[in-house]
Amino acid sequence: MTSLAPGADRVAPLPAVLAALDLLRIESVGAVLHIRLNRPAKRNAINDALVAQLHTAFVNLPEAVRAVVLSGEGEHFCAGLDLSELSERSAAEGMAHSRSWHAAFDQVQRGRVPVVAVLHGAVVGGGLELASACHVRVAESSAYYALPEGQRGLFVGGGGSARIPRLIGVARMTDMMLTGRVYDAKEGLAVGLSQYLVDVGGGMEKALWLAQRIAANAPLSNFAVMHALPRIADMGQDEGLFTESLMAAIAQGDEGAKSRMRDFLEGKAGKVTKG
Ligand code: 1HE
């Protein structure tokens, strides 16, 4: 694998608001912020406090951060909803709980910078919902995916019904929820749950390398990919093409784009090469 760009491994001090988040382990590596779910004893199950801390982390990304890597401490990425917190909730409380997940995961998907997830071990229930809010997913060969909500008498509540079918289709998600089907890492790659598959232990290096590449892009291009692309994909073709032309015009007019095009024409920028 290509090594990181110079300065990419520089570890910067964290702002106090991020350093105070005890259920996350956060490290700033150059322009990349590495956020780890940090409840390994509970398989990184997501309780109310962890949802709130994810929200806080993603709305307080330091200005210098250009990409995030999200991973899980221990043997698993995330065991989903913390089932020990599932007390008797009224319908209104249940709705508010689900909406708190939506608010946090929306900051992951539609925040300021792209997020690369490293998936290993269990990526289940709310853990898969969180993974599906990320922009690039790197799976290690230990990863497996399931939606046990059906077996637990629940429904997805962390945005899964909106995001997961956009990755794998309604039919596959229906099957996972009705039958408890588990996809292994290879199957997950084939159906689109991850974009990359690497050996056990190789996920962080690959994700950091990808995040470093993402961080080197013009910020407005990354913004267009994160914010315009998924919205255009949800539009009718006519509206989509019109919106695309607006976004393209704004992106190409940016100084970042102009200097990059000049660099290429003057032979100073890299060519596109085969893998
Ligand atoms: C938990 C949770 C959890 C582990 N909530 N405590 N999610 C699930 O249905 C998945 C449930 N978990 C599992 O199937 C397994 O724990 C794993 C496959 C993820 C991992 O197995 P393993 O053998 O490594 O660990 P373990 O021995 O099962 O669990 C270790 C501890 O973590 C244990 O606690 P301890 O105090 O006895 O040590 C477990 O109770 C605890 N633990 N998973 C609470 N999920 C917005 S809606 C989303 C809806 C959903 O996500 S539903 C799916 C919930």
Is 63 among the catalytic positions?
no
Q: Give the per-residue pLDDT at 189.
A: 98
Q: In this model, does residue 5 exceed pLDDT 70?
A: no
Instruction: Summarize the confidence of residues 197-219 as an average pLDDT.
Output: 97
Which of 23, 42, 43, 156 gets mutated to test ligand 1 (max ligand atoms within 8 A of its CB)?
A: 43
Taken in order 126, 21, 212, 223, is the CA torsion positive or negative?
positive
Token pair 């221990």: residue = 74
If you take atom 47 of ligand 1, which residue's CA is the nearest one? 157
149 ligand 1 Cβ < 6 A: yes
- Average pLDDT of the chain is 94
101 ligand 1 Cβ < 6 A: yes
At residue 85 the predicted structure's pLDDT band, cuts being 50, 70 and 90, is confident
Q: Give Cα separations from 43 to 30, 79, 123, 273 (angstroms).
A: 28, 6, 10, 40
Residue 119, strand partner residues: 139
Is 129 among the catalytic positions?
yes
The β-bridge relationship of strands 136-140 and 196-198 is parallel
pLDDT in tens, 113-162: 999 999 999 999 999 999 999 999 999 999 999 999 999 999 999 999 99
If you take atom 10 of ligand 1, which residue's CA is the nearest one? 79
Q: Give Cα separations from 260 to 7, 152, 217, 221, 275 (angstroms).
A: 21, 52, 10, 12, 22
Give the burial string for 90-99 (b: 16+ CB within 10 Å, else e).
Answer: eeeeeeebee
How many angstroms does the Cα of residue 64 sit away from the middle of ligand 1?
A: 36
Q: Say how far apart CA 238 and CA 66 lie, in whole Å.
A: 32
If you take atom 18 of ligand 1, which residue's CA is the nearest one? 122
Token pair 């497996």: residue = 144
Q: Give the per-residue pLDDT at 261.
A: 81
Instruction: Summarize the confidence of residues 239-251 as an average pLDDT.
Output: 97
Q: In this model, does residue 11 exceed pLDDT 70?
A: no
